[in-house]
Each structure stands twice: as C-alpha cells, then as structure tokens.
Amino acid sequence: MHDIRFVREQAEAFDEGLKRRGLPPMSAEILKADSERRSVQTEMQELQAKRNEASKQIGEIKRKGGNADEQMKLVAAMKDRLSALETAEKELAAKVQGYLCSLPNILFPEVPPGVDDSDAKEVRRFGEQPKIAAPKEHYELGEALGMMDFERAAKLSGARFTVLQGQLALLERALGNFMLDTHTQEFGYLEVSPPLLVKDEIMFGVGQLPKFADDMFFAGRTKSREDLLREALTYAEAADIDALKKGEMSLADVVANAMNRAPVKEDLWLVTTAEVPLTNLVNNEILEKEKLPLRFTARTPCFRSEAGSAGKDTRGMLRQHQFYKVELVSITAPEKSVEEHERMASCAETILKRLELPFRTVMLATGDTGFCSKKTYDLEVWLPGQNRYREISSCSNCGDFQARRMNARCRAAGDKQTEFVHTLNGSGIAIGRALIAVMENYQQPDGSIVVPNALRKYMNGLERIG
C-alpha cells in the first residue's frame, strides 16, 4: 500500500513510478479525493465545535427560563449535517484507500524496462548444461518409471494434479528436508509450521486480496441448506419458537434472529505460498529494531487456481494447482532490506549449487515484476527436456508496501517514533520444480535418474532411481 504523504509531497515521482509499470498518472485523481476528504474533515470539526457551543447555549437559555426551541432546531440540523458529513468522509476515505491499495509498488531505479520475461536482465550464471542425447521431459521419465501418475490424479482431483509414488515421492520429501536443513542450520532461518487456511485480512496484508482473488482457492462454507438451517435454529430463543407456533412470527424471521445470535464465522482461503502466513506473523506489531532481521522459513503445500494459464504447461507437473515449496521470509529495518535481498537470493542459489543444477539469476523487467515488489530476482534452472531455463525461485524486496497493509512497525530503543518494517520473500526453492530439474538433468540413457550427492543421505543412501 502506498503512503498518501508520498503522493502529496512527490506527486510527479509517484506518477513516474506508475508510468514505469505501464500505468497512467493517478496522483491528480488521488489528491482530488484526498483534498475533498480533508475539506469534509475540516467542516466536521468546525461544525462539531459550533454544535457543542450551541448545546451549551440551550442549557443556559433553559436555566434562565427562556424558550430554547429555535436553538434546539439549530442543533438538530447540525446533527443531521454532521451525519451526512461522516458518511461522505467514510466514502472518500474508502476511495483514497482503494487507490493506495490497488496500485502496484514503486520500482527501484535499476529495474530494467520491459514487458515480460524476455526483457529480464541476466545477473549471473552457474554450471554447465549437461550434454544429453535426446533428453526426455520429466513426465516421460516419471511415467516410464511408473512413479508419476497423472491419470489417477485426474480421477481424484481433475487436471493439474500429480500422484507421486515410491522413489519419486521420497525424492520430493528429500528435497524439502535438504532445503530446510540448509536454510535453518546454515543461514539462520527459523523453521515455522504455519496454518494453511487464513483470513481475508491476512491475504490482504501481503497484497493477495482483493486484486488476485481469482488466482486463489476460497475455502467457503460447504454445508447444505438443511445443515445451515439446523445449525441456525440452535440459536433460536424459546420466545421466538412459541411465536412461530402461534403464527405470530414467520420461519424466516426466526432464522434471521437466530443467525444474528450465532457466532460470526471467518471465511478462509488456502494459502498460495507460505509467504502469506509467515509475513503476517508480525502484523499489527511493533518490533524492537535491534532484534531485526527476523528470518522465517517453512515447507508447505501451495494452492493456486492458475487462472489465465489455460494452454500453458498442460503436460506434466510444472504448473499445478497444488505443489510444495520451501519459502523464505525476512522482516528487516528499512535501511537493511537491500542488503537482505542480496543475501536471500544467495541462499536460494546455494540450494541449486549444492544440487549441481545449472541455473541463471535474472532481474525481472518493469512489466514483469510482481504487484508488491520493488525489485525481483528470478532464479531460472536449466531443463534439458525443454531446452530452456525455467523459473524455480523468485526473491523480492517489497519495501514497506506490505508492512503498511499489515501495520507492521519497528522502533529503536529510546525512540518514540515508529517506522514501517521492510518485508522480503523468496522461494528457497520450489520443490516440485526442483524435482523436475533433478529428473531431467540427471537422467540416464536407460531411463533411470542419478540422485545428486547432496540428497543421498536424505534418500537412505539411494544413488539411483529406477
């Protein structure tokens, strides 16, 4: 979320930041609504002062035995006007908030111009691409091994799901354990096992709502109408039931009254990534600046509807509705986030280096950088079966953009003033895509797959799959 003070004080810079995102200037529209809101607030304050004074005068008139009818009419009119102003102020505040929440973050100057991944700037490259005669894609290898089953997955859940079995299921688990051990034991991340269902405001805090609702799975209520009715009626009072029996109250009224007494139920969403709960661990908190950075990691399933991806990567498990990922999240002091971003990318790169997988690191272009990010590094692993690099990790510095939405702040010892923290997130790394990369880069002519040295202790000493 943007800071309205920045828009007021640096409107030109704000519009230039939107222009780099391919968006039209918005400062004039935002400031117009902001100015109207402030004018309404001023009028409310002045009118409230007048009303208070007029109310005092009513008391004085009555104490002297006079007629205060006219003064009372005036106070009543002021009350009506205040009520209208309060409504207008709330509407204008929501309008300003809507602008500030719906526009993407301002990018760092060094982010290269461009519209998609073809415009990304390569930063560094690691490893040699293996020389494999007629390399196969991961789904060909997995199905031939009898350890990757798409038909049964479709029978269970539909398209974009996979059933892994035997040694490939073990490989998936080994990759996650290897990543977690590396990040916790060597890089100081704290392992967390977070909830996978979260509330609306948690999704809002990291910028997933309202913009990306179509990309997520909503875990709404699934009870039948009969169950809901039965549940609602447990909160019906005896007097209502008696009135219903006597025909003095309709069933609809009884249910409505009962529902009003029932406890409020939260609507929940399946997490798209562990970034969602991990970043929100500090929402609405004031942290001690001296104890930053906080670094969290988690291995969780991720759930994405893949809206708009029709026809993309339909074969195999490259783009799934459910997949596992090890996530990295950092909460830093504002002046430390740039340094932390480089460190986080290095941590993710270490995983690929230890697996001896060829990859490159690129800085995403302006038109391809995520909504909350000020700058993003993508790690792209080489897939021989596709003869191309594919994204396996994104590491983003979000600045204070998410912190404003979450109201996450820090304060130095002895200071009275607080400041918003900076948040960073990165894949450390996507387990499913790592499995694909291992399968394709370590495939053998007989269809077997050599297990990377770094994983063998997690594979019970197994050196080859197949």
Q: What pTM does this model have?
A: 0.87
Spatial CB neighbours of 34, under 8 Å, sequence gap ≥ 6: 4, 7, 8, 92, 96
Mean pLDDT of 47-51: 92
The residue ranges of every structural domain in the chain are 4-102, 117-199+271-465, 222-261
Spatial CB neighbours of 434, under 8 Å, sequence gap ≥ 6: 175, 179, 351, 355, 357, 381, 392
Identify the CATH number of the domain defined by range 117-199+271-465.
3.30.930.10
pLDDT digits (tens, 9 = 90+) for 108-142: 999 999 999 999 999 999 999 999 999 999 999 99
pLDDT digits (tens, 9 = 90+) for 418-429: 999 999 999 999
- The reported pLDDT for the residue numbered 251 is 74
Type of residue found at 190: L
- Out of 5-19, 23-37, 231-245, 352-366, pick the least confident: 231-245
Q: What is the three-class DSSP state of 266?
A: coil
- CA angle 400/33/6 to nearest 5° reads 30
List the structure tokens of 416.
């009275």
Question: Are 376 and 370 spatial neighbours (Cβ–Cβ below 8 Å)?
Answer: yes
- The reported pLDDT for the residue numbered 227 is 64
The three-state DSSP-derived secondary structure of 2-47 is CCHHHHHHCHHHHHHHHHHCCCCCCHHHHHHHHHHHHHHHHHHHHH
d(CA 389, CA 256): 57
Options 1.10.287.40, 1.10.3720.10, 1.20.272.10, 1.10.10.10; CATH for 4-102 is 1.10.287.40
